Structure 1
Amino acid sequence: MIKTPIIPALILAAALFTGCKKDSVMAEEGGRDSSAFVGYENRFLDAYWKLNPDEATMTGYHKYDSLLVVFDATSRQKQVDFAKKQLDSLGRFDVNTLSDSYKIDHHLIENRMQQLIWSVQQQKAWEWDPNQYNLIGTFAFILNEKYEPLDKRLRSFYQKMTNIPLWYKEAQKQVKNPVPELTELAIDQHLGGVSVFETDFVDSLKKTNIPQAEKQKMLDRAKQSVEAIKGYAAWLKALKNDKGRSFRLGKSLYEDKFKYDIQSSSSSQQIYNAAMERKKYLHREMAKISRQLWPKYFGKAEMPKDSLVLIGRMIDTLSTVHVKPDEFQSAIEKEIPRLTTFVREKNLLFIDPSKPLVVRKEPAYMAGVAGASVSAPGPYDKTGNTYFNVGSLSGWPAEKAESYLREYNQYILQILCIHEAIPGHYTQLVYANKSPSLIKSVFGNGAMIEGWAVYTEQMMLENGFGNNQPEMWLMWYKWNLRSVCNTILDISVHTGNMNRDEAVRLLTKEAFQQQAEAEGKWKRVSVTSVQLTSYFTGYKEIIDLRDAYRKKMADKYKLKEFNEKFLSYGSAPVKYIRELMLGKK
């Protein structure tokens, strides 16, 4: 899972952005209006960063680091006005006169502007999601990333803190009838992340030569910020909300969000149907392998007649071998070079050795949604670190830790590293940052990103990773089943009435997940929506594209060429990449 600190929605700033210069080669790809579209994109990004300074920071453009603009009804209306203006400008371009690359950019900008209007006028999450106001991630980014000297970053941090008390005062006016589960998450993440101001900022100041008088002003403002953040958490705790909004998004909002977030050629119902079929296929394959392995692990013991029970028994047996709780992060660190070597030896795609991958304990401000994730530098910050965030098991009860580690056993831990790092998220995002199109990086498609990571798991096993052990294939089928059931779960919960017990039963009995993993997934589906469908949707579309591309290329087909060509388009929706790779308009 790609995970970045939450960027508060609908933020406005009153500063000017000087603009970014696009590679002139992009305008030469073909299409008579492409040169004019280059100019439009530059103007669009100028205006977009002006409205979204926090997002500018997270993408690596740091002119606005010191700005925090409190948003309200007026600023939301300015966002809508901006989006409508951009849609009008886009309408003046005939998409068919643009180069292939700019056609995709046109679609991406149009989608984002439509989504912006929808989020303000229909979704209205600022009313019912208190974590929309979690600004800690951007501050942590400024503090932790070494894109400028520490003194300069700390001064930006200090200036940005100016409006924090007003920010949370306004938040208390905006939040109405919040979702209880999201309220709890907001409390936990704010209290967990306040250390960025309370400890990290203070410690960083000690490392500088900033004059003592100036340091004291900074420390005083940090204390005010801590009070505001803790005050917001306390206000949420005390908030009387007997009839809070349901965390279920509902069919209408869900279908719209799926359309804007996933940008698939299929509807959510079609993806749900495909996931149900994939689940049946996986169960059949897992049953075959389990019957094959049964004598090896159970001797002459009677084999269960129920195929799901049989699979579950085999998976439970294989899951007993895992690392110790305090070795989880170090085991991941050791796996990375092994994966790199395999990809190079098998000639699957180029891995850039100059880009750093740092395995670290998951920061507190990011905790509470997923146990492992990747945070990558933005398109303007190409030299920044890529982090593999690993959730800590410290302080977990022994039973809960054992359940978690059985889920991430010796087989799954390797697959997890493929997905999150090499050649999954880490590799794809390195390629994405090489794309000359900033639009594709700024508005990266989550389904393509997650789908690539799932696809690479299968690709690695197909090419011999794990020595074709049936045990490894069984565990990968289980892992793939996880992506499939993510989709079934998310759609069933947010557009239907699937309850917690039904969800846990699906995940433990049909997806063979450990109790702790299933309970964690229920928490995740109660505080997120649509994102869980991105894994299977993207994976299915990439596999379908690879099959079609292999057929098109016939004996000229090479896997490395397919992988690198696919990644060269940046983080664009698969349906648009498909058009370019297959030559279908």
Structure 2
Amino acid sequence: FQIRQLPEAFKPTSPGGFMNPPGVYDKDPTGFFFIPTYNPESKNFHIRAAIEDPRPILGHEGIPGHFLQLSIANHLSDEIRRQHEDSVFVEGWALYGEEMLMRTGLYPNNSPAQGQILRLSRYRAARIGVDVNLHTGRWSFEQAVKYFMDAGGLDREAAEGEAAGAASSPTQKISYIIGKWQIMNLLGRYKDRLGENFRLGQFHDDLIKNGSLPVSVIEWILLDDPAAVQQATK
């Protein structure tokens, strides 16, 4: 994928940038990762994170995150699976991947990257409070901004961008933590099922080879257990 500067039009709602993966029918498999404008004087959370160490966000947006997962999904033979894109799985996988790279030793102990993973997790958790309270009418936009600053550790510029993104896309922000939790839960069950034959790489292959399906459906495929799907469709 190529790295490009974030267009001005996207800055209000996507201040940290984003991955624009290749489309389902694109002949060109190239994706585009849009990043904020480099400014060493900026206090913006996302820009400071990229300057400190770009690997955590590249892991989320690129490999093993969005670019890898969505590129694989685009090449599935099943048309329905190619077209379906469950945000909880897509964002959950990318967030899981960030932390998985740390847990498996990519970043040295006490490194800037390790600290960044924790700070990224903190503001992703804050998104849950904002998403729920903003869209149930309990909070104003300013309250959402303040919560991102106080609970999420963001500066005002980044907090306003996060709040604007949450306001423009209900439930999208909550999908990160929920998706990661569902994948971690599935990982535990998968590991218990395979016992001594468990291999983390095989779990990842099995997880993302089915496309961007709900985790409950993937759980059914991997464990031959429809319980989660049945619970979701009651």
Tell me the equivalent position of 1:373. 18
Shift in Å, 1:389:
1.4
Tell me the equivalent position of 1:514. 155
Pairing 1:448–2:92 present: no
Shift in Å, 1:429:
1.1
Pairing 1:358–2:2 present: yes
In 2, are the aligned partners of 1:406 and 1:514 still within 8 Å (CA)?
no
Change (3 A) 1:572 1:459: same
Change (3 A) 1:364 1:447: same
In 2, are the aligned partners of 1:450 and 1:534 still within 8 Å (CA)?
yes
Alpha-carbon distance between aligned partners in 2 of 1:489 and 1:511, rounded to the nearest angstrom: 10
Change (3 A) 1:407 1:377: closer
Change (3 A) 1:409 1:365: closer
Alpha-carbon distance between aligned partners in 1 of 2:31 and 2:142, rounded to the nearest angstrom: 37
Pairs aligned (count): 224
Shift in Å, 1:447:
1.2
Tell me the equivalent position of 1:406. 48
Q: CA RMSD in A?
A: 2.1
Q: Give deviations 1:172-223, integer Å, cap 9, x for gaps.
A: xxxxxxxxxxxxxxxxxxxxxxxxxxxxxxxxxxxxxxxxxxxxxxxxxxxx
Pairing 1:565–2:210 present: no
Change (3 A) 1:383 1:403: closer
Tell me the equivalent position of 1:580. 221
Pairing 1:389–2:34 present: yes
Q: Give deviations 1:461-503, integer Å, cap 9, x for gaps.
A: 0111111326543321221122211122111110132123432
Change (3 A) 1:417 1:565: same
Unaligned runs of 5+ residues in structure 2 are 227-234
Pairing 1:482–2:123 present: yes
Alpha-carbon distance between aligned partners in 2 of 1:455 and 1:541, rounded to the nearest angstrom: 10
TM-score (norm 2): 0.87
Q: Which amino acid aligns with 1:390?
A: I
TM-score (norm 1): 0.36
Alpha-carbon distance between aligned partners in 2 of 1:393 and 1:380, rounded to the nearest angstrom: 33
Q: Which has more helix, going by share of residues? A: 1
Q: Give deviations 1:137-194, integer Å, cap 9, x for gaps.
A: xxxxxxxxxxxxxxxxxxxxxxxxxxxxxxxxxxxxxxxxxxxxxxxxxxxxxxxxxx
Tell me the equivalent position of 2:114. 473
Shift in Å, 1:436:
1.3
Pairing 1:496–2:140 present: no
Structure with higher RCO (Cα < 8 A, 6+ apart): 2
In 2, are the aligned partners of 1:407 and 1:514 still within 8 Å (CA)?
no
Q: Give deviations 1:245-286, integer Å, cap 9, x for gaps.
A: xxxxxxxxxxxxxxxxxxxxxxxxxxxxxxxxxxxxxxxxxx
Shift in Å, 1:525:
2.2
State the identity %.
24
Q: Which amino acid aligns with 2:48?
A: R
Unaligned runs of 5+ residues in structure 1 are 1-356
Q: Give deviations 1:372-412, integer Å, cap 9, x for gaps.
A: 11112222225332111123368xxx97x33343354414x
In 2, are the aligned partners of 1:423 and 1:456 still within 8 Å (CA)?
yes
Change (3 A) 1:502 1:365: closer
In 1, are the aligned partners of 2:18 and 2:61 still within 8 Å (CA)?
yes
Alpha-carbon distance between aligned partners in 1 of 2:27 and 2:100, rounded to the nearest angstrom: 27
Alpha-carbon distance between aligned partners in 1 of 2:11 and 2:153, rounded to the nearest angstrom: 25
In 2, are the aligned partners of 1:382 and 1:433 still within 8 Å (CA)?
no
Alpha-carbon distance between aligned partners in 1 of 2:79 and 2:13, rounded to the nearest angstrom: 28
